Amino acid sequence: MRDSDDSSDEEVLLRNGNVPKKWYDLYDHKGYGLKGQQIEKMAEKDEIEKFVEKANDPQWWRNITDDLNNKQVRLSKGDLEMLIRIRSGQVADKNFKMVTDHNFEYEHKELIHPFQSNEPKRRFVPSKHERLRV
């Protein structure tokens, strides 16, 4: 198997297992890297820096924080289209065709459901005689 066949394109920076993020709130680091070194938290922007960024960048709303790799990522047009499809209940891949046209019309329906007789309810309820015996 070649390296290009691997499903993970990027190496994940943080390696802290199945530990909740809130456990690191009191520490200066966010977790640990592959070699065991501490990964520092990203510097939080204050409200003025956020306002200046919004004023200077018309596409500011496309920026998201990647917590696993500890960096800011700008969503591409393809990423946004995929998110819109997912939120509308469609399949994420636009090239994937969902097959919804199924015709289950059969000539011999009795072969599919051979026990379609309307049995009376009293047939499934024990009789007085059977109840007394139990």
Residue-by-residue DSSP string for 49-109: HHHHHHHH-TTGGGEEEETTTTEEEE--HHHHHHHHHHHTTS-S-TTPPP--------S-H
User: pTM here?
Assistant: 0.51
Q: Looking at residue 3, what is its pLDDT? A: 42
Classify the phi-psi angles of 89: left when phi > 0, otherwise alpha if psi is within -120 to 50, otherwise beta: left
71-126, pLDDT tens digit by residue?
Answer: 889 999 999 999 999 999 888 888 887 776 666 665 655 556 666 667 777 777 88
Same domain as 127, residue 61? yes
Q: How far apart are CA 9 and CA 67, in angstroms?
A: 17
Same domain as 66, residue 9? no
Q: Which domain holds residue 8?
A: 1-41
Q: How far apart are CA 98 and CA 107, in angstroms?
A: 27
Same domain as 89, residue 122? yes
Residue 130's pLDDT band, with cuts at 50, 70 and 90, is: confident
Q: Which DSSP state fits 12? A: -
What token pair was written down for 13?
């920076």
Same domain as 64, residue 114? yes
